[in-house]
Amino acid sequence: MKFNEYQVQTKTTAIYPEDKGLIYTALGLCSEAGEVADKIKKSIRDKGGDLDEADLLGLKRELGDVLWYVACLSSELGFSLQDVAEGNLDKLRSRADRDQLGGSGDDR
């Protein structure tokens, strides 16, 4: 499945109010990213950081939730998911070419 096909498919399961789409999807993205972090945090607390099959399945599902919100937030902002993905790789390749992958700052 291509990124843009996925983005179109997310609209079939988006049930939030249209006039609250931007804030709803931004909050949802943060919430789902927190669910990923929480599962990893609990694996550290309870299992020394080891991830068993059930943990991995749970993380895979939460990453899917993150992706769903990235796609929907991108839609709210008028971005195609393909452009977001390609733009990210272009940015990182440029940094790698200029030996700028380390360090900090959005515009390095």
Give me the residues that bind Mg ion (CB under 5 A), please.
32, 35, 62, 65
Between 61 and 95, name the residue whose CB sits nearer to Mg ion. 61
Between 36 and 84, name the residue whose CB sits nearer to Mg ion. 36
Residue type, 50: D
Between 62 and 76, name the residue whose CB sits nearer to Mg ion. 62
Q: Which residue is nearest to Mg ion (CB)?
A: 65
Report, in Å, the least distance between residue 37 CB and Mg ion: 12
Report, in Å, the least distance between residue 63 CB and Mg ion: 9
The structure tokens listed for 57 are 């399945």
